[in-house]
Chains A and B, each alone.
Chain A
Amino acid sequence: MTVEFLYWAGCPSHPEARELLEEVLQARGIDVAVDVREVRTQKEARELAFPGSPTIRVDGRDVDLAGAEEPPSLSCRIYRLANGRVSPVPTREQIEEALQ
């Protein structure tokens, strides 16, 4: 299994998302080195198909497939919650589902 964590430092949500990812990995007993990459330029965002910060991919698959379709951008990413609200970080459930 590969787990990628891509972030842009200009958005403040990445520490919270990284912590959540590590919590879920630990809770599920998954021992994997997370590939953490900082996206610094719009060129890198295009090359990595980075739809916003943070982006988490498990075996290359985004934890939020709908959001993954957004154009590459150095911006904060929007995650849509089941209750209709939005969040700058994915939910625990989205990460857990991607790890199954």
Chain B
Amino acid sequence: MSLTMATEAPHFELPGVDGRDHSLDDYAQFPVLAIVWSCNHCPYVQGWESRMKSIQQDYGDRGFRLVAISSNDAESHPADSFDEMKARAEAEGFNFDYLFDEDQSVARRYGPERTPEVFLFDEGRRLVYHGAIDDNRDEDAVNEHYLRDAIDALLDGRDPAVRETPPVGCTVKWKA
């Protein structure tokens, strides 16, 4: 079950593709934090990756940070192994941290169902938006920019008008 609105972000400490461990506390200096469940193999994620990079690029100097986490079972989906994550991050020039939740314990605490799936937290690390990045997998057909709108609201000191949307994408690949 996913986190409910206003719930505090559960702690995590996970290895990143940059060779360092990253914990929730490491992002304390960023007033707005988006944790996006992600992976390598999913076409929905691949379709949204450029938008994830653009959002980090556009808001990175305004106190925002995007962190991607993959919890997929790399045995059933070898394309989602840590080595493949490192390769993809380098090949695609990710400008955000990409972390591996190998034992899926962090995913069990947050409760994502899909990739990509966004959990956006305010400065107090309370959940303020959960769901899709925007309303269309086709970048050219987007009408509603849910994540950008929610970030704008937080940076302006407002609550997001839209708090929850259904995530669209591949299922998280749980271990058997």
Contact = CB atoms under 8 A, between A and B. Distances in A.
A73 interface: yes
Nearest to A79: B43
Contacts of A85: 47, 139
Given A75-B42, A77-B43, A87-B43, A12 B169 contact: yes
Nearest to B72: A75
17 contacts: A10-B170, A10-B171, A11-B170, A12-B168, A12-B169, A13-B43, A42-B76, A75-B77, A75-B173, A76-B41, A76-B42, A76-B44, A76-B170, A78-B46, A85-B47, A85-B139, A88-B47
Interface string A64-100: 0000000001011111000001111000000000000
Nearest to B49: A86
B163 interface: no
A13 B139 CA distance: 16
Interface of A: 10-13, 42, 73, 75-79, 85-88
A77 B46 CA distance: 11
Given A12-B169, A78-B43, 20 more contacts: A10-B170, A12-B168, A13-B43, A42-B76, A73-B77, A75-B42, A75-B170, A76-B41, A76-B42, A76-B43, A76-B44, A76-B169, A76-B170, A77-B43, A78-B41, A78-B46, A79-B43, A85-B139, A86-B47, A88-B137
A75 B61 CA distance: 36
Interface residues of B, number: 16
Interface of B: 41-44, 46-47, 76-77, 137-139, 168-171, 173
Contacts of A13: 43
A83 to B, nearest CB: 10
Contacts of B173: 75
Most chain A CB within 10 A, of B138, B139, B171, is at: B171
A58 to B, nearest CB: 21
A42 B41 CA distance: 17
Contact of A87 (B41, B47, B171): B47
